Amino acid sequence: MRSIGKVLNNAWVRWLVPLTILALLAFLFRGRLHFIGEGFAALQEAHPLGVILGITAILISFFAMSEVMHLLLRAGGTYISRVDTNALTYASNAWSATFPGGPAFAAVLTFQVQRKWGASVILCSWFFVLSSALSTMWLVVLGIAGVFFLGANISLLSLSLTLAGMLLLSGVMYWAAQNPFYVGRILQSLLPKMNRLLRRDPRAGVDTAMRHINQMDTVKLTLRQFAGISLWSLLNRLFDIATLWACVWAVTGSVPILSPEADNTTVVGVMLAYVTAKIAGSVQATPGGLGPVEAALITTLVATGMTVIDATAAVIIYRLISLLLMTVLGWIIYLTYFVRKGFNARAATDTRTGETRPAKTRPAESRAQAIKPRTRDESKSTPRPTRGADAAAIDSKQRRPKEK
């Protein structure tokens, strides 16, 4: 096992394994990568300003996603620079978009790096659940808006139930962060009963669960902070939609607005296409949802007014920006930032000096330690000698009479 660990920790292995997997996937899915060539052909005829706006919007969308992570970890007492959280956002997206079932790989990467930043297991779990609930909640809200404004053929009951579930889950996560004591009491009451049903020791897992729950004391999330995090989660969705909107503008030459124009869609049509594509790509059977996502986007854009040719070109450019460009950037960051450090991202970068520093805990604690007055024992540079041979020697010197 040690020899395997040494091999896996080798810098060359960490570089070559992901590159080998990428090459293998490119070969296996070569029949689905035709959109790359078509995308570059469509780019040559697209409006440059629309393409630039699309790239800008997707970069802002990723920053908003990173800010959700930054603020949630900050609320849990793990202080990491925005450079680090942005790097992890890009890297995890690369893993998610490259492999079938990629979100699972991205979750493992995110968990490993956050743990090395100093986040507790319960904080990492809390981050995953709350950030996912918020993101899904806003997607459902956008879907409901599409149903009301365009009469889209999406089950309003299903969306409403999903929205209610995500709101409830978000509320439970917020309440749990504010009341770890009551969460602990509930677990202490429920776990023994569950263990008895499973015919296990009633105390099995109780101490471990309580140890994790007690770590929730580090989470300090006010209602204002929660609202701010929710807003960043919404901006992540909105700027992703803005990327698709800009690509439609780049192809058609006219800006999609509230009222429909000839051979063009509207803002709500773009939003509905985005929601439909996200639902279609939720089961990621192919890398990045290649196939189902494009079909959902093109079908919805055509249904809301665009021609098949324009809708196809807009979708290809959108996927070229949001999938290919961001995945390539993510792999570059992963290989140069995380692989080079061997996942040792705990040495966060100090943006002012460029030097590395260990991840910080809550600043209030650091300041309290900094201003804490030193006691007499702490102020001495060396410890007081114990009663022994050295102490006896010192005492004999002190009692020796002075020579005249």
- pLDDT score for 331: 92
Q: Which residues pair with 358 in a beta bridge?
A: 347
Secondary structure element (H or E) that encloses residue 58, with its range: helix 48-75
Residue type, 372: K
- pLDDT score for 384: 47
- pLDDT score for 350: 38
Q: What is the DSSP secondary structure assignment for residue 62, as one 8-state letter? A: H
Whether the CB-CB separation of 314 and 38 falls below 8 Å is answered with: no
Structural domain contains residue 333:
yes
Count of domains observed in the chain: 1
Q: What is the DSSP secondary structure assignment for residue 334, as one 8-state letter? A: I
Q: How far apart are CA 247 and CA 283, in angstroms?
A: 25
Q: What is the DSSP secondary structure assignment for residue 256, as one 8-state letter? A: -
pTM of the model: 0.72
Buried b (16+ CB within 10 A) or exposed e, 273-305: bbbbbbbbbeebebbbbbbbbbebbbbbbbbbb
Question: pLDDT tens digits, residue range 314-354?
Answer: 998 999 999 999 999 999 999 888 877 665 433 433 333 33
Structural domain contains residue 203:
yes
Nearest to 134 by CA among 175, 104, 163: 163
Q: How far apart are CA 277 and CA 295, in angstroms?
A: 8
Nearest to 271 by CA among 301, 306, 311: 301
Structural domain contains residue 198:
yes
Whether the CB-CB separation of 187 and 210 falls below 8 Å is answered with: yes
The residue range of the domain holding 152 is 47-343
Structural domain contains residue 375:
no
- pLDDT score for 16: 57
Write out the two tokens for 310.
């324009």
Write out the two tokens for 169.
């889950």
Nearest to 252 by CA among 269, 268, 264: 264
Residue ranges for the chain with pLDDT beneath 70: 1-43, 149-156, 217, 259, 341-404
- pLDDT score for 371: 35
- pLDDT score for 43: 65
Structural domain contains residue 325:
yes
Structural domain contains residue 27:
no
Secondary structure element (H or E) that encloses residue 347, with its range: strand 347-349
- CA–CA distances in Å: residue 308 to residues 150, 174, 302: 20, 45, 6
- State the residue for tokens 């969306």: 159
Q: How far apart are CA 90 and CA 70, in angstroms?
A: 14
Whether the CB-CB separation of 274 and 240 falls below 8 Å is answered with: yes
Distance of CA 26 to the CA centre of its chain: 25
Q: How far apart are CA 223 and CA 171, in angstroms?
A: 11
Structural domain contains residue 245:
yes
Q: What is the DSSP secondary structure assignment for residue 320, as one 8-state letter? A: I
- State the residue for tokens 């504010």: 178
Tally of CA atoms within 13 A in the half-sphere of 174 that contains its CB: 17
**What residues have CB less than 8 Å from 380, skipping those under 6 apart?**
none
- pLDDT score for 364: 41
- pLDDT score for 287: 74
Write out the two tokens for 17.
């394994």
Residue type, 5: G
Q: How far apart are CA 249 and CA 247, in angstroms?
A: 5
Structural domain contains residue 388:
no
Q: How far apart are CA 46 and CA 36, in angstroms?
A: 15
Strands 347-349, 356-358: parallel, antiparallel or unpaired by DSSP? antiparallel
